[in-house]
Structure 1
Amino acid sequence: MQQIKNEFLSISVNPVGAELSSIKNLETGVEHLWQGDPEIWASQAPNLFPVIGVLKNGEYIFEGKTYKMPKHGFVRYNENIELKSKTEDELIFELNYSEESSKQYPFKFRFEIGFILKDKSIEVSHRIYNLDDKTIYFSLGGHPAFNAPISVNEVYEDYYLEFDQKLDLRSYLLNEEGLISEKTVGILDNENKIRLKKDLFENDALIFKNIPSKKVSLKSKNSGTVLSVEYKDFKNLGIWAKPGAPYVCIEPWLGIADVEGTDQNLKTKEGMEQLEPGKIFQANYIINVE
């Protein structure tokens, strides 16, 4: 485990998957990141690359050839990620293409993720390098899970998510295979608060495409703002938890899972970024602890 800290926060990152595994407020002693109870959900903050969600039949097609890819891609659980650099306030990890990665993703790339600690904020920075002689296609996203409640005197229903503006939001529903259907359900109608409740995620994640808001705060009706996530570089947002579990995931996404009617062609998959040879793509999100 790699750790850095300042006078306000300490953070830990598991080199396997370069997964954020602790955000501890040193002033209050509160651990803000879900600790990955395997009986409920063993992950904590997986990094999603080069796809988000599931692919139809777990596979896609690129230039006539079929490739298999697990849900959310191959960065999470990946043991080949290396620590590139470490300073007092920054950890940077990288994953380079390999013969093994080429079996499921036929591109020469470098995936780089950094965790920058500044006062009471953690900036999670992503850089994708195209080392190939052809355009590469990818999606990118975060999946951090935050504890709620954080006090023994509170319950899940004391918490809510508040956006920085009033919104009309509809969530896209997933089918039984985890593919995005054409069906939607209304979540907000000129409102800015989603109240947490144990059955909120009975139909899986809330999925918001092209969300206008770029900041959402986790708040308690008793103690106010707990933390916020800013995601100006990401166009979509997922919100999820295992039903009844004491956490909520706030997930900035560039892409989405496959839609029901997909032709499985990677080049035309909704939400894929295109990066030309020799170019670098960057997208960051920020976690602010109150």
Structure 2
Amino acid sequence: MIYSLENEKIKIAAGTHGGELHSITGKKEGTEYLWSGDPEYWRYHSPHLFPIVGNLKDSKYRIDGKEYELQSHGFARISEFTLLSQSKDSITFELRYSDKTLEIYPYKFSLQVTYTLDESCVVVSYKVINLDNKVIYFSLGAHPAFMCPIEKDEVLEDYYLKFNQIENSSIMCFDENVRFTHDKKAYLINSNIIELNKEVFKNDALVFNDLKSDKITIKSRNHNKSISVEFKGFPYMGIWAPSKGAPFVCIEPWFGHADYGDFTGEFKEKEGVLPLEIGKEFNCSYKIFIEQ
């Protein structure tokens, strides 16, 4: 089921399948800022990554000595959420544990996603509630894909990413199986600009864990339309587009990341995994700003 929200400046659509945002439209000119989900390139729009971010080694992980299996980015993005509440300027979807989820993720939880409109901004808020009688462990991330180019007569090379701080930052390195090693590679050197082209993503995503910036903007040299993601408090940032080329770029704030290639420990020992005590909740949010 798809639901809509709008104010004087923007209109959004979001659905119960995956609790996913489907559209962000600027009402000034009817410009679409979110990726359409065309399966020729990538069938998602803005999936939620839970209870893992990225890939597990051999798609397996261990909890209390028992082995479980999860596909890349977990099950939230392919699950059916329910509508929890809706008001004039916000809407909340919920995914609760079930017998089916307990078979692959042995924790009782509620994952709530809220979209709130504020002028030309969409605030995406997450709440994870521990409904179990024990500590639960999880990772959580966002994977929004934004139109790039925004206008049909442009190309990717017309665009660049601008960080809101000058960076001296490294990216996390992959091995030949696209598993993280423990190595880093210098990437942004006294700079806050990444020029966009197909070569940027030839080795998969750019993943940072040492940024000073908490805002990244997709900008064109041809006009003032832009998309910004503000991600205060998120320790990891992934930036990705398909290596074969596609008319979108993903800016992905994460709590957690894919497995290191040599990781063999318990899930709770994995870098970036969050613990949540009995009866407690975890909250975080990021913001999407559009310039029309």
Q: Report TM bin, short chain.
A: over 0.9
After superposition, residues 191-270 of structure 1 pair within 5 angstroms as 191-224=191-224, 226-243=226-243, 244-270=245-271
Would you say the 8 A contact 2:170–2:210 is kept in 1? no
Which residue of 2 is the match for residue 130 of structure 1? Answer: 130
Find out whether 1:168 has 2:149 as its counterpart.
no
Would you say the 8 A contact 2:215–2:231 is kept in 1? yes
Would you say the 8 A contact 2:169–2:210 is kept in 1? no
How many Å apart are 1:155 and its aligned residue? 1.3
How many Å apart are 1:225 and its aligned residue? 5.2
Per the normalisation by structure 2, the TM-score is 0.96
Structure 1: gaps of 5 or more residues: none
RMSD between aligned residues: 1.1
Q: Distance in 2 between matches of 1:213 and 1:225?
A: 21
Which residue of 1 is the match for residue 118 of structure 2? Answer: 118
How many Å apart are 1:174 and its aligned residue? 2.2
How many Å apart are 1:33 and its aligned residue? 0.5
Give per-residue Cα distances to partners, 1:111-162, cap 9 Å, x unaligned. Answer: 0000001110000000000111111111111000000111233211111111
SS of the residue corresponding to residue 182 of structure 1 reads strand
Change (3 A) 1:264 1:247: same
How many Å apart are 1:177 and its aligned residue? 3.2
Find out whether 1:18 has 2:19 as its counterpart.
yes
Which residue of 2 is the match for residue 78 of structure 1? Answer: 79
SS of the residue corresponding to residue 113 of structure 2 reads strand
Query: Which letter does structure 2 place at the counterpart of 1:102?
Result: L
Structure 2: gaps of 5 or more residues: none
Per the normalisation by structure 1, the TM-score is 0.97
SS of the residue corresponding to residue 256 of structure 1 reads coil
Give per-residue Cα distances to partners, 1:211-245, cap 9 Å, x unaligned. Answer: 22111111111223502111113111000001211
Q: Distance in 2 between matches of 1:193 and 1:149?
A: 17
Would you say the 8 A contact 1:55–1:71 is kept in 2? yes
Which residue of 2 is the match for residue 46 of structure 1? Answer: 47
Number of matched residues? 289
Moved over 4 A (4+): none
Change (3 A) 1:41 1:34: same
How many Å apart are 1:178 and its aligned residue? 3.0
Q: Distance in 2 between matches of 1:102 and 1:167?
A: 42
SS of the residue corresponding to residue 268 of structure 2 reads helix
- Percent same amino acid among aligned pairs? 43
Which residue of 1 is the match for residue 157 of structure 2? Answer: 157
